[in-house]
Structure 1
């Protein structure tokens, strides 16, 4: 049995996989275009996307707008497939990133790290792109749907991210290991939450499973639970086309299960990363910032922050991983080789067929 296509409104892709948006130089035009060419949905992450622009520190907003425009156009030149962007609600330049994404004609916007309640207001008078909020509970889904409906809009699909995801998590630290918050529990909860809104609108609202999905068998399991597709980030880091430095990818290859760590992010959310000398130094209080150069995220008070999130992620994406933060999903320690995006997708399809074809 072949994987079913993923259909979101009038968009359809043959492989029901959305590549996760991994910020600060990990998923840019190179990776997004490769995933789109392989039949999935490629995502450009907007967080600090202008980190390599010469005026990034002096002109944060304009540097990021310029870089996002450049990467969307580059990805478009490399693929005819479906492309989207991931925009964190916590970003101080959120509105800028939405504006540029709409102007450049991306196919969809995925938005989490907070509830994107104001996103439809930024989209007034526009039908495209498709809007996909990231949620971590049925309650959050209902809040978003009710709020958006007041603006005459509903989510075109919903991404449900469980606690095994990499990067920032939408859970309190004590919730991460609770059985009630596993992705297996969340999927039916969110499907039930969107159903009344979908019924009233007379159009489906697909639910996308995310967080800890690693194999084709995992994809089969969540599609059987009613998910329309999956979002995967960690697996795509370990590809030749991933935009991160080779040293960043090597950190995944070298990681052991005991290295997978939950941290307290300056953003105010727990985060999942690979334990390294940088995090050891953070634990000892040796990385407290003396000033804020970027003002990149809401809720970050540098006076009380354990480290500067931008500096840490930029160092990692440059390849200085011992001196930076390496975000990764719980299953990153299972990565044992770097392959092409096409090979990875073929492997996932084959694994899916072995389980779902029975």
Structure 2
């Protein structure tokens, strides 16, 4: 039965509710979480940007064992060439954190980040996943053609109307309009133009994007429950993307210390920082971010800063030290509910939105 939640996006992606799970690469994303969201009627997403190609294939097959519903795989469409121009100064700054964690100082010399995008993409195409989504930019034209030829739908994230228009022109089936309230990395295409990302608020971005593109717009940023979904639909969006709300779900891969930091946070806790990865991202301010705010050293560009901080983030996870973890989170963390399963979150969100919309 069709309801007021049965949008064009639902028809295009073959889902029941216009709720998309954010990719959340780097730990929180698990096959169990993606499958649970899809089973509940939304679009689960596997955040695969940091995964080895063989692991992506295994994860995709695991999702398919857990559900026969549509799901997405998210990759980073971005230049992964390293910039080591200030590596010595940055490493000395990072050594402060290493000392606190009991790690040795960084070795001298440049860093090299593995660029596995082509191999990752090849796996996704071979596995013919239903939906391929990107962050930080658009798929190369040849990759987009290959995806469409394989029968896949394509989503892209945008932080401005101009980026949304570019996504439409590139043939995307829908665009995620990411407001400044969103947790995690900003999806801004050109961080040279917007060093801390374009941060138009969700409430302002969505109707302007809707008025300037013909493809479905998916609202992201600050959406934590059915009120956010209903508001997004009233603003003209055809659905929402939710990440932070699912970080404390039972199926999330988020570290226990990360979960606790989320539950202890509020709307004043997060800041935009490039300290962890070299790209602007919203997360809970902790000791690591404060060191960078006080240190006077600019982080290296992505992906080199991300590579440089990996040993710190890994050690922090082993030691359950949230003060040195990248605690990505949006601004709506007071609305988190501990102990829910992902399917409950989807059902509750849809039920509340339907009630508000009179569906």
Task: Indicate the TM-score class for this superposition, using the shorter chain for normalisation.
Answer: 0.7 to 0.9
Gaps of 5+ in 2: 81-114, 189-193
Q: TM-score, normalised by structure 2?
A: 0.78
**2:155 and 2:173 in contact (8 A); partners too:** yes
Aligned 1:1-358 pairs, distance under 5 A: 3-5=5-7, 7=9, 10-49=12-51, 64-90=52-78, 92-113=115-136, 115-118=137-140, 120-125=141-146, 126-146=149-169, 148=170, 154-170=171-187, 172=194, 181-195=200-214, 205-265=215-275, 267-285=277-295, 299-300=301-302, 302=304, 305=305, 308-311=308-311, 314=314, 319-357=320-358
Task: Give a deviation string over 1:169-220, Cα, whole Å, max 9, x none.
Answer: 145367766xxx222222222223323xxxxxxxxx2111111111201111
- CA displacement at 1:141 relative to structure 2: 2.3
Task: Give a deviation string over 1:91-150, Cα, whole Å, max 9, x none.
Answer: 53222222111111211111122x2151x312435242211111112212223433x2xx
Q: TM-score, normalised by structure 1?
A: 0.78
State how far apart, in whole Å, the 2-side matches of 1:8 and 1:335 are.
26
Q: Look up the SS of the partner of 1:158 in the other structure.
A: strand
**2:43 and 2:71 in contact (8 A); partners too:** yes
Cα distance change of structure 1 residues 299 and 77 upon mapping to structure 2, 3 Å threshold: same
Cα distance change of structure 1 residues 130 and 327 upon mapping to structure 2, 3 Å threshold: same
**2:267 and 2:334 in contact (8 A); partners too:** yes
Aligned to 1:54: none
State how far apart, in whole Å, the 1-side matches of 2:297 and 2:196 are.
25
**1:19 and 1:41 in contact (8 A); partners too:** yes
Q: Look up the SS of the partner of 1:13 in the other structure.
A: coil
Task: Give a deviation string over 1:298-349, Cα, whole Å, max 9, x none.
Answer: 94375xx498354455456665423321111111243242311122122212
Q: Look up the SS of the partner of 2:44 in the other structure.
A: strand
Aligned alpha-carbon RMSD (Å): 2.9
State how far apart, in whole Å, the 2-side matches of 1:307 and 1:235 are.
27
Q: Look up the SS of the partner of 1:330 in the other structure.
A: coil
Q: Look up the SS of the partner of 1:338 in the other structure.
A: coil
Cα distance change of structure 1 residues 282 and 39 upon mapping to structure 2, 3 Å threshold: same
Gaps of 5+ in 1: 50-63, 149-153, 196-204, 290-297
- CA displacement at 1:3 relative to structure 2: 2.7
**1:6 and 1:14 in contact (8 A); partners too:** no
